[in-house]
Structure 1
Amino acid sequence: MSAVTLSTNLAYDRTLRFLGSAWFMLLALCVALKLGTSSVESLASFLSSLCLATFYVLLSVLVFTRPAAKASVDGLMPRIAAFVGTYMPWTITFLGKTEGALPNVASTVCVLVGMIMMLVTIRHLGRSFSIVPQAHAVVQTGPYRWIKHPLYLAEEIAILGVVLQYLSPLTVALLILHIGIQVSRILYEEDLLRRTLPEYASYEATRWRLVPFVW
């Protein structure tokens, strides 16, 4: 596992916060500009896009306003996993829909459920949210009462919905790759929290990672 580095470089941290916040705001703007542009857009599709835009705005605000972390991971691999895991899956929408894609309703349900779960989770995670693994505090409210990584679970459900709309061997392969990357992010994050926050040991001893009774 990677080493732990105390967060002392304030200029570097502020730069990352600004760039991360700007990126999520740009994504929100791109989604918002497409709202209502299609005459055949269904209500479910409109709601999923609105939910996604709201989610990106919330992430932008949280990234920009979060306090400095007590510690963050050091090393290149955790950072690569964090950025690829965060941004790679949304590039699926640039591949174009395939003729074999499942009906729009099934995809939209997954996206809506995933995004609503994300919004609920972010509400409890608050300013402890980060992309690169960082130690802020042990959150134990909301969905964190039952599993340790509800945000990752919600994201995979939403991404599954996107894959269903753009179903192909390539998008399925990207989904499997993304799940593997997210597992590595979980392990990096847990290692950091375990070594930085003493209260994390008792918390993780009584919670499942993603799916209760499975993992």
Structure 2
Amino acid sequence: MNAISTLRHSRHASLLGNAFMAGIWAVFAYAHVLAYLHTRDWSYLLFCMTETVSALFFLIRTAPDSVSTDMRDWLLAISATFAPFFFSPSDMALWADARYLLLPGSALLLTGLLSLNRSFGLVAAQRSIKTRGVYRVIRHPLYASYLISMSGYVLANTSTANLLVYVATLSLLLARLLREERFLAADVRYRAYMRQVKYRLLPFIF
């Protein structure tokens, strides 16, 4: 059993990982709740709440039939998951009204999560394949929701630090998506799903 498998089956490692994630989230949530109290800008609360829902779905996920044990997949997944928690409120805005992009982004995220139910995880894994709801249109609605929401957030909270986090997170998400599909394509059912739903993130584009 390799290191990843050992950690995955370790209750202590799981608890430590969840505790670490909760700590990072707490700092992120505090900054955004504080920003809301100072500005009364609803977008800070919405961004914080959607990230919280994602974390809760991660905690109640079902055990997969098979999961990638490639260290690169785990590093990508962990990095892409935690990177958005480094976003921070900013007084500068390239386009203040871009915060309204958080509305469709959050709606898409919640729709995708509800379609997945508990078949949600951090790294690529063989779980039941979801083909209903928004998964009939694109294969990765959760990643699409991150793209929309983060774009709106950065345009409304423009800073050098946020731009760097944005570029890094999108790069990690794209790499994660491609590696995840490579792993999932080992399942004949997923290959059939790929033929049925041709677009990953953006209909008619990608």
> What TM-score does the superposition give when structure 2 sets the normalisation length?
0.81
**What CA distance in whole angstroms lies between the structure 2 residues aligned with 1:12 and 1:135?**
23
Bigger shift: residues 11-20 or 52-61: 11-20
Query: Map of 1:41-56 to 2, 5 A cutoff?
Result: 41=40, 45-46=41-42, 48-56=43-51
In the superposition, relative to structure 1, how do residues 212 and 17 fare at CA in structure 2: closer, same or farther (>3 Å)?
Answer: same
Distance in 1 between residues matched to 2:196 and 2:72, nearest whole Å: 29
- Are 1:27 and 1:56, in contact at CA under 8 Å, matched by a contact in 2? no
Aligned to 1:185: 176
1:121 aligns with 2:116: no
Cα offset, 1:32, TM superposition: 7.2
In the TM superposition, what is the alpha-carbon distance from 1:158 to its structure 2 partner?
0.8
Question: What's 2:60 paired with?
Answer: 65
Do 2:80 and 2:169's aligned partners in 1 also have CA atoms closer than 8 Å? yes
Distance of aligned partners of 1:21 and 1:115 in 2 relative to their CA distance in 1, 3 Å threshold: same
1:12–1:141 Cα change, 3 Å = farther
Of 138-147 and 60-69, more deviation after overlay is shown by: 60-69
* Deviation of the 1:124 alpha carbon: 0.8
CA distance in 1, matches of 2:29, 2:202: 33
Structure 1 unaligned runs (5+)?
Answer: none
Against the structure 1 CA distance between its residues 23 and 123, is the aligned structure 2 distance closer, same or farther, given a 3 Å change threshold? farther
Q: Which runs of 5+ in 2 are unaligned?
A: none
- Residue 148 of structure 1 aligns to a residue whose secondary structure is coil
Aligned position for 1:89: 84
Tell me if the contact between 1:144 and 1:150 (Cα under 8 Å) persists in the aligned partners: yes
Question: Could you say which residue in structure 1 is the equivalent of 2:154?
Answer: 163
Displacement of 1:31 in angstroms is 6.3
Residue number in structure 2 paired with 1:110: 101
Deviation digits for residues 10-61 of structure 1 (CA, Å, limit 9, x no counterpart): 52674367337635863685267437522x42xxx31x33433432342233
- Distance of 2:24 and 2:57 partners within structure 1: 10
Aligned pair count reads 202
Q: Following the alignment from structure 2 to structure 1, what is the Cα–Cα distance between the partners of residues 151 and 94?
A: 12
Q: Cα distance 1:105–1:136, how it changes in 2: closer, same or farther (>3 A)?
A: same
The residue type paired with residue 133 of structure 1 is A
Aligned position for 2:142 = 151
Q: Check the 8 A contact 2:65/2:125 in 1, yes or no.
A: yes
Corresponding residue number in structure 2 for 1:198: 188
Alpha carbons 1:92, 1:171 under 8 Å: kept: yes
Percent identity at matched positions? 22
Q: Distance in 2 between matches of 1:8 and 1:35?
A: 36
Deviates further, 77-86 or 49-58: 49-58
Q: Distance in 1 between matches of 2:12 and 2:123?
A: 13
